[in-house]
Amino acid sequence: MYKARIIGTGSSAPSKVLTNKDLENMVDTSDEWIVTRTGIKQRHIAENGEPTSKFAYQASVKALEMAGVSPDQLDMIIVGSVTPDMATPSVGCIVQHQLKATQAAAFDISAGCTGFIYALSIANSYIKSGMCQKILVIGAETLSKITDYQDRTTCIIFADGAGAAVLSKEEGDRGILSTHLYSDGAYGKLLYMPGGGSALPATYKTIDDREHYLKMDGNKVFKIAIKSLEEAALTALSHNNITEGTVDLLIPHQANSRIIDAIAKRLKLPPEKVFSNIDTYGNTSAASVPIALDEANRQKKLKENHLILLDAFGAGFTWGSALLRW
């Protein structure tokens, strides 16, 4: 028997930090409001000239190093991102070239903040089918490039960074136990960027109208996020005949500390069984779960045979979960 197992993780974030105090000077907000309503104290923001691939590459190098895998052993690179360097080539191909992963197929998938779990699920299927042995899965974003720093409802939340995991075909029963993916495009316009695609290509007017920035109805997103995260998490548990209390660590999408607390409560998990780093990273979309996974891993919070539950929700809407035996 074999499974797809994560054998190395890595993460990276821009060195520039944007604090709540900094935001107080940019929009009508306060440190107190942001901390109370979101749990975020600071976030990392890319400088001009720092594209998503920079952080994806740095996270990948660390993950490969931990895994003891050389780039030419990779069969595939999958990147979850809604902020690629450009429409084409993909971040996957840029990173493939930088790593010199000469044997790897490479591509991006767009699944909002659920991007990493979608990518992990695809990688798991390729390994379980026997078609691939080693796959690099990345979640990478520079949301600051599509965030409107005149809009206080979004600019306090979104941030930049990348996380990566090396997935390997391994003997035994440790590895990915299941993944569950969902979508509902009916909610697309509750969190979207109107301009810059084929529907509304860039013109002077779209720029003047600030169409190249994320628009969000935060309150509606908030409520649906809790319901969806709960659905994905509970399905993962029931599919594996596991009760809530058996989970050793929940690593949820870092969207809002109140959302994380609500999910933990619904899953009856005490705070020590829930990983959160939203205070220092903010919401890095597809990068949020793999950055948290890497931090938990490097802090030695993931022990052999631990049951780790990944749970995410994002634009699309998309949502999903992955249950791992570490």
Name the site residues for ligand COA (rule: CB under 6 A): 29, 33, 37-38, 113, 152-153, 156, 191, 216, 218-219, 221-222, 225, 255-256, 283, 313-314
> What whole-number distance in Å separates Cα of residue 319 and Cα of residue 298?
26
What is the number of the residue whose Cβ is closest to ligand COA? 218
- Known catalytic residue at 253: yes
Least distance to ligand COA, CB of residue 252, Å: 11
Whether 287 contacts 163, CB under 8 Å: yes
- Indicate which residue of 44, 93, 113, 180 is catalytic: 113
C-beta of 76 vs 221, nearer to ligand COA: 221
Whether 108 contacts 122, CB under 8 Å: no
Whether 162 contacts 59, CB under 8 Å: yes
> What whole-number distance in Å separates Cα of residue 18 and Cα of residue 23?
7
Least distance to ligand COA, CB of residue 30, Å: 6
> What whole-number distance in Å separates Cα of residue 307 and Cα of residue 155?
34
- Known catalytic residue at 113: yes
- Indicate which residue of 124, 253, 277, 297 is catalytic: 253
> What whole-number distance in Å separates Cα of residue 161 and Cα of residue 59?
9
Beta strands in the chain (DSSP E): 2-12, 17-19, 42-44, 76-80, 105-109, 134-142, 160-171, 175-183, 191-192, 215-216, 249-252, 307-314, 318-325
Least distance to ligand COA, CB of residue 176, Å: 23
- Indicate which residue of 20, 124, 283, 297 is catalytic: 283
Strand order in the sheet with 160-171: 2-12, 160-171, 134-142, 76-80, 105-109
Least distance to ligand COA, CB of residue 217, Å: 8
C-beta of 89 vs 194, nearer to ligand COA: 194
C-beta of 104 vs 255, nearer to ligand COA: 255
> What whole-number distance in Å separates Cα of residue 307 and Cα of residue 79?
24
C-beta of 76 vs 113, nearer to ligand COA: 113
Least distance to ligand COA, CB of residue 226, Å: 9
Q: Which residues are catalytic?
A: 113, 253, 283
